Amino acid sequence: MRLYDLIRSNKNLVYIDALTDTSYGVNEFHQSLAIDHKKAVVFLYTDNMIGSVEVFLNFLQSDFTVTLLSPQLDIQFKLELEQLYLPYYIYDPTRTAIDGFEQYAASARIQLFKNLSEPDYPVNEEIKLLLSTSGTTGSPKFVKLSEENLVQNAYSILEFLPISETDVTPLNVPVIFVYGLSIFTSNSIAGGKIICTNRDILQKAFWEDFEQYQCTSIGGVPYVYEMLNRIGFFKKEYPSLKYMTQTGGILNHTLVQVLAEHCKKHTTKFFVMYGQTEAAGRMAYLPHEDLFTKNTSIGIPIKNGSFEIDPESNELIYLGPNIFGGYAKRLEDLDSFTHSDRLQTGDVGKKDEEGYYYIIGRIKRIVKLFGTRMNLDEIELILKNAMGGETFVCMGIEDKSVMVLHLNEELTANQVKSVLKEKLNLHPSMVKVKFVESVPLTPNGKIDYSTAIQLID
């Protein structure tokens, strides 16, 4: 069955425009745009607003291969990608004209751009969605996902998340990223109301909407929950909040304790999840009742999925039906979809005696300090646990030292160096510490290490 058919069969589904407080039933978006139907690529520069949702649903029900991109991409990146992949249609509310395209009124509300040359090229029938893993760099590398990938991912999420027809879900994670996409698809299939909004979860306006619509869930990466903790979110009560989800990294012990106590007090559930774009989203989840006892674990594999650990590199290998069909780096790569039952995650993992899995760090986040291998993600977690859940960003400097960025003006360099000396036997001369007022983030809320490295002076 197609993903769109599963969404449309949800008779309770309503999309709400948070800006105008206008509601739309899913059938109001069924074939609401006058578009051609053929197997070609379309580029959708989408946010989480109602217009983007309508456009996405229309192309999801079509024969097109849908590419989800950030409207905030640099214009030069956009033009280069469009020249490379020759999209048949483009949706981009940030532009009024595109060379080689005509502006096309697909409906009274939606304007598209249609390629004047109507390009014709082979696209494999199985490729339904193209997603970037970079987000803002304009990389031509996309993950090729099929209907089967998307449906299997949605089904697996519905196995463990308590999504019901009475749920009210805010789209607070960008849909262009696989985490936000999985929130959108799973709740569109089985949920009730979906609040379409671009408001950030750390903004007051988001929480005003949250209370107005009585939202039942939120999602976020570790940094989001660290910031919510800093502003006292977990000291308040939100009666409508039923559960929270998290992916994109490891939570520190202090924050897990705060979350577990908050959930116990307010009968709220917290689900740690683990996934990658190449698996169409989720690969593992931590049952909420295990939050206290398995607090740094990614949990257990999703239904129909499993893990192996490479005996030589300790890399975590995922096996399941939601594994992607390869990468596309150019137009010619779209004529194939390669089925695989194994995904090399790039993460270093381990399994405990009860079958729960843990991520120790990324293979590429390894530095050698005077011949000793150090995992930068592990160093960050050690500091977070030792310093009461503070935010730390660690980077290697030419395999000679570790740079630690932090957000607490009262924290001294000696305190940081002392922890690393005690825990890892790192000599203080090998550690550089710097206070910064903020750390750069990617659009999906993860630490942007490529930009953070520029803060080193």
What local confidence, expressed as pLDDT, does residue 320 receive?
94
CA distance 288 to 219: 14
Residues whose CB falls within 8 Å of the CB of residue 419, separated by 6 or more in sequence, listed in order: 382, 383, 386, 387
CATH of 1-363, one of 3.30.1440.10, 3.40.50.12780, 3.30.70.600, 3.90.79.10: 3.40.50.12780
CA distance 346 to 329: 20
Q: Within 13 Å, how many C-alpha atoms sit on residue 363's CB side?
A: 13
CA distance 3 to 26: 13
What local confidence, expressed as pLDDT, does residue 248 receive?
82
What local confidence, expressed as pLDDT, does residue 41 receive?
98
Tokens 């879900």 -> residue: 169
Cβ atoms within 10 Å of 329's Cβ, excluding its own: 12
227: pLDDT strictly greater than 70: yes
First to last CA, the chain: 54
Q: In what order do the strands lie in the sheet with 65-69?
A: 101-105, 111-115, 89-91, 41-45, 65-69, 129-132, 142-145, 327-328
Q: Which among 294, 289, 272, 172 is positioned nearest to 222, based on CA atoms?
A: 272
**Token reading at 24:** 């739309």
CA distance 35 to 120: 16
Per-residue pLDDT averaged across 79-108, rounded? 96
- The residue type of 26 is V
137: pLDDT strictly greater than 70: no
Per-residue pLDDT averaged across 301-307, rounded? 96
- Bridge pairing between strands 281-286 and 65-69: unpaired
Q: Domain 370-455 has what CATH class?
A: alpha beta
Q: Which among 44, 64, 50, 272 is positioned nearest to 176, based on CA atoms?
A: 44
Instruction: Sketch the domain layout of the chain as residue ranges.
Output: 1-363, 370-455
Collapse the DSSP code of 442 into the 3-class scheme (helix H, G, I; strand E, B; otherwise coil) and give the result. coil
pLDDT, tens digit, for every residue of 386-413? Answer: 888 888 998 887 767 888 999 998 899 9
240: pLDDT strictly greater than 70: yes
58: pLDDT strictly greater than 70: yes
pLDDT, tens digit, for every residue of 151-210? Answer: 999 999 999 999 999 999 999 999 998 999 999 999 999 999 999 999 989 889 999 999
In DSSP terms, 367 is beta-bridged to 374
Residue by residue, DSSP assigns 118-160 as -------TT--EEEESSSSS--S-EEEE-HHHHHHHHHHHHHH
Residue by residue, DSSP assigns 21-42 as TEEEEGGGGTT-S-----S-EE
Which 8-state DSSP code applies to residue 441?
B
Q: What is the pTM of this model?
A: 0.83
Per-residue pLDDT averaged across 259-267, rounded? 91
Q: Which among 359, 347, 274, 357 is positioned nearest to 315, based on CA atoms?
A: 347
